[in-house]
Structure 1
Amino acid sequence: MVIGFFKKLFNIRDRNEQVRFTGITAAEKRQQAKPQIPVIEVTEKQAVESQLDLSTLFYSFLFISPYTTTTGIANNLERSVIQEIELALSSPKSIAENVLKLPSKILELDKKLADDNIDIQELIQLIEQDPLLCVEVLKLCNSPAFKRADNDVNSIQQALVQVGRQLLRQFITTCLARELIDIKPIYFRRFGAEIWRHSMQVAFLASELASADQRDSAFLLGLLHDVGKIAIFKMLVDAFYQAEPGEQPSSMLFKQVMTTKSLTLSALLARHWQLPQHVETPLSLLANTNIKPTDDMTLLIWKANIISECSMLQQVDKLPQPALIVLLTQVDLSEQEFAALHQKLIKF
């Protein structure tokens, strides 16, 4: 049923229709070096709808709700959170100071790490002043996604030599940003783990897609692009304790609200935190979900977000193939290129 819907919506032609249209048989196609992507006609409106559908589906994966209503009617729990979201959008200062505080060291330390004139030993001592930060950085250095050698990295000095200053800077930024996600109730821990994995994937992809001089900015932006989602989910956790037994976020309406409003909240939080302009501006542009970004940095995050959501959904077999093809077309990625990235992202 879902596949039929996507075929109808995006005019994806069946295999037999492609043969009649192109004159190329299925056997001849398999012999070609690079399999062709099905012919897809996607209007700008359909492109926007497909991205919103992807994000809504992604929320369904995060919430693990046993069912999703498609009536567009929110339950009491959802209505309560939607009201909180509207208040947050009108007063982001309250959210930034009480719900989701940016770690004070993140910008200060990132600035020092970006300074090529700072003495290496001074840099190492600066990092080692925070033992917990050191432990988290070394964990990242030795994780499957980033490990560069057979032997474990056991010190910040060794990390500098083995992974390099730029990657170490990204690791430290990651560990500091990780403090934003502190979801304690057991029921919600999976959300915290998955949204953080998504943020790390987007940061990694954005850095990979960026030019050499943009990589650090792209990485930080990727980590912070979803802070609005985290803030909204913390509101949901608070509301959950006052909800009726068994009430969960399950309506399509609520997931769509989270999709559109969370990006706006991310931009407002960035402004209140006084993040650098090269971080705040792309977040503001991403909040406009009605168009594909044209700004280089914003487009990087936009593409990385779609690729990560597709990968995480495909990993649990929740994304129909026709929908995947449409989305990959929008980010200028072949199925082979996506498959290669997907294998890397699984390690996160």
Structure 2
Amino acid sequence: MVVRFFKKLFNIRDRNEQIKFTGQTAAEKRQHTKQQVTEAIVVTPTQAVESQLDLSALFYSLLFANQSIADSGIANNLERRVMQDIELALSSPQAIAENVLKLPSKILELDRKLADDNIDTKELIKLIEQDPLLCVEVLKLCNSMAFKRSENDVTSIQQALVQVGRQQLRHFITSCLAREMIDIKPIYFRRFGAEIWRHSMQVAFLASELANAEQCDIAFLLGLLHDVGKIAIFKMLVDAFYQAEPGEQPSSTLFKQVMTTKSLTLSALLARYWRLPEHFEAPLTLLANTNIKPDDEMTLIIWKANIISECSMLQQVDKLPQKELIVLLAQVGITEQEFAELHKKLLEF
């Protein structure tokens, strides 16, 4: 089903079938080859868990400034300080939600109004235009490579509503409001905040495309929020840099694994404190259990979207070995060709 979806989404069509001397068509041969590959790649539950954790830990290497530092199993002083802060955050998410990572108060309210078909278009536009900075950010998204639909720039919210549609505009506004949570200073934002946000946008996009029509809006916002734990931890890391020894960087394997597992738990705890609706909190709680592949429909969608995005971002910088990529794609249920087409699309983010 996922394979058919991506073929439809990215217009991946089979080549014209040609009869070979074997009597098999090209499509039959490809199907036979695909079956052989599928049979060869048998991913055990243990391999699935390990490969996902390894992928997430490797993904953190994109977010650190100094890539020349060799990984070590021993945490340095900076890492130990941040890990202590993480444990405190897990025991008291209220302090994090109020002082470190505040959910914009209007994000759920405005999202709810955008979902109401009974609200008049003029009233909706007036509501959005009350926030000039929000309007600017929304128009930037409308005119970005990933979403631009014509050669002419979108210059007003009314034009955006006509050109991209109400549902897409809702996604843009939700994205811009959620982005307010990453208010890290520019030097640090360039280091890792920008990559976290890019990943969140990719997961939101993929999740909304994988979900059915009734769930796509929930999937989009959930994709944006699934990594709020990472954002909170990186804000702790930024604060810790001020007290760190010169040149000290997060580089140990232990630290990356801790961040991988703890950030998902923190995301779920923050969602609970923010009193997000159950359809947001429950998937985040299930995602925090990294020992199993989720079977809940919405949780599985976010899980798959997260893996695809991490694979894409790592492949872009040539940091994901082909062998590991094949195992991960087998878990997600797409072929290398389909991933290549999807990777091209994600490069636009």
TM more than 0.5: yes
SS of alignment partner, residue 180 of structure 2 = helix
Residue in structure 2 matched with residue 211 of structure 1 by the alignment: 212
CA shift, 1:32, in A, is 3.7
SS in structure 1 of the partner of residue 289 of structure 2: coil
Mapped partners of 1:333, 1:31: distance in 2:
18
Q: What is residue 228 of structure 1 aligned with on the other side?
A: 229
Q: Does 2:253 align with 1:252?
A: yes
Partner of 2:21: none
Tell me by how many angstroms 1:29 deviates: 10
Does the Cα contact within 8 Å between 2:72 and 2:251 map onto a contact in 1? Answer: no
Cα distance in 1 for residues equivalent to 2:98 and 2:188: 25
Structure 1 position 42, deviation (Å): 1.8
How far is the alpha carbon of 1:67 from its aligned partner? Answer: 3.9
SS of structure 2 residue aligned to 1:125: helix
User: Post-superposition shift, 1:71?
Assistant: 4.1
Q: Which amino acid in structure 2 is aligned with residue 91 of structure 1? A: S
Question: How far 1:148 sits from its partner (Å)?
Answer: 1.1
Summarize deviations over 1:49-85 as a string: whole Å, max 9, x none: 0000000000012114334554421000000000000
Asked if 1:238 corresponds to 2:239, the answer is yes
- AA of the residue aligned to 2:177: L
Paired residue for 1:73? 74
Query: Aligned equivalents of 2:104 and 2:213: distance in 1?
Result: 27
Do the aligned residues in 2 keep the contact of 1:133 with 1:176 (CA within 8 Å)? yes
- Per-residue deviation, 1:186: 1.1
Does residue 269 (structure 1) correspond to residue 274 (structure 2)? The answer is no
Partner of 1:126: 127
Unmatched 5+ stretches in structure 1:
1-27
Distance 1:29 1:255 in 2: 45
Q: How many residues align?
A: 321
What residue is the counterpart of 1:303 in the other structure? Answer: 304
1:206–1:304 Cα contact (<8 Å) kept: yes
**Deviation of the 1:30 alpha carbon:** 12
Distance (Å, rounded) in 1 between the aligned partners of 2:157 and 2:189: 33
Q: Distance in 1 between matches of 2:191 and 2:94?
A: 28
Deviations 1:269-322 (A, max 9, x none): 001111111111100000000000001000000000000000000001110001
C-alpha contact (below 8 Å) 2:93/2:273 kept by paired residues: yes
TM-score (norm 1): 0.89
Q: Which amino acid aligns with 2:202?
A: Q
AA partner of residue 85 (structure 2)? E
What is residue 118 of structure 2 aligned with on the other side? 117
Q: Distance in 1 between matches of 2:209 and 2:299?
A: 14
Return the alpha-carbon distance in structure 2 between the equivalents of residues 200 and 214 of structure 1. 17
1:9 — aligned with what?
Answer: none
Change (3 A) 1:289 1:184: same
Shift of 1:40: 1.4
User: How far apart, in 2, do the equivalents of 1:345 and 1:200 lie?
Assistant: 10
Q: Name the SS of the counterpart of 1:247 in structure 2.
A: coil
Percent identical pairs in the alignment equals 79
Q: Please list, as runs of the form range in 1=range in 2, the aligned pairs for 1:290-329 lying within 5 A after superposition.
A: 290-329=291-330
Deviations 1:105-147 (A, max 9, x none): 1011001001111111100000000011011101101111001
Partner of 1:166: 167
SS at match of 1:213: coil
CA contact (8 A) 1:67 1:250 kept: no
Task: Give 2:57's aligned residue.
Answer: 56
Q: TM-score, normalised by structure 2?
A: 0.89
Contact kept, 8 Å, 2:65 with 2:191, in 1: the verdict is no
SS in 2 for 1:73: coil
Offset from partner CA, 1:251-277 (integer Å, 9 cap, x none): 000000000000000000001111111
* Alignment-mate amino acid for residue 74 of structure 1: A
Q: 1:346 maps to what in 2?
A: 347
CA distance in 1, matches of 2:253, 2:62: 13
SS in structure 2 at match of 1:212: coil
Q: Please state whether the residue corresponding to 1:338 is helix, strand or coil.
A: helix
Alpha carbon RMSD of aligned pairs, Å?
1.7
Residue 190 of structure 1: how far off its partner (Å): 2.7
